[in-house]
Amino acid sequence: MSATKVFGHRGWMGSFPENTLLGFKEAINAGVDGLELDVHMTKDGEIVVIHDDALDRTTDGTGLIRDLTLAEIKKYSAGINYSTFPNYDGNQWIAERVPTLQEVLEFLAPYDTELNIELKTFMYPYKGMEAKVLSVVEQYGNGRKVIYSSFHLPSILKIKALNSSAKIAWILNQCIPQPKDYLETLQLEALHLYKGVLLIHAHQYKDIVEQLRVWTANENDEIKQLLDLNVNTIITDHPEKALFFRSERNSFV
Q: Which residues bind ligand G3P (CB under 6 A)?
A: 9, 36, 38, 51, 118, 149, 171, 192, 215-216, 235
Shortest CB 169 distance to Mg ion, Å: 11
Residue nearest ligand G3P, Cβ-based: 215
Reply yes or no on whether 40 is catalytic: no
Shortest CB 12 distance to ligand G3P, Å: 13
Write down the catalytic residue from 9, 40, 192, 238.
Answer: 9
**CB-based contact 167:148 (threshold 8 Å):** yes
- Give the β-pairing of 47-49 and 34-41: antiparallel
CB-neighbour burial class of residue 177 (10 A; exposed 0-12, middle 13-18, buried 19+): exposed
Taking CB under 5 A as the rule, does residue 38 contact Mg ion?
A: yes
**Binding segment for Mg ion among 38-46, 128-136, 153-161, 236-244 (CB under 5 A)?**
38-46
CA distances for 61 relative to 14, 54, 81, 103, 189, angstroms: 22, 9, 10, 20, 37
What is the spatial distance between Cα 194 and Cα 192, in angstroms, rounded to a whole number? 7
Write the single-letter amino acid at 66.
R
Shortest CB 253 distance to ligand G3P, Å: 29
Reply yes or no on whether 192 is catalytic: no
- Give the β-pairing of 146-150 and 47-49: unpaired
Taking CB under 5 A as the rule, does residue 18 contact Mg ion?
A: no
* CB nearer to Mg ion: pick between 118 and 240: 118
The angle at the Cα of 239, spanning 235 to 243, to the nearest 5 degrees, equals 110
Shortest CB 173 distance to ligand G3P, Å: 8
Task: Using DSSP, state whether 29 is helix, strand or coil.
Answer: helix
Binds 170: which of ligand G3P, Mg ion, none (CB < 5-8 Å by kind) = none
**CB-based contact 114:135 (threshold 8 Å):** no
**Which one among 18, 26, 114, 118 touches Mg ion, defined by CB under 5 A?**
118
* CB nearer to Mg ion: pick between 196 and 248: 196
Catalytic center residues: 9, 51
Interacting residue ranges for Mg ion, rule: CB under 5 A:
38, 118
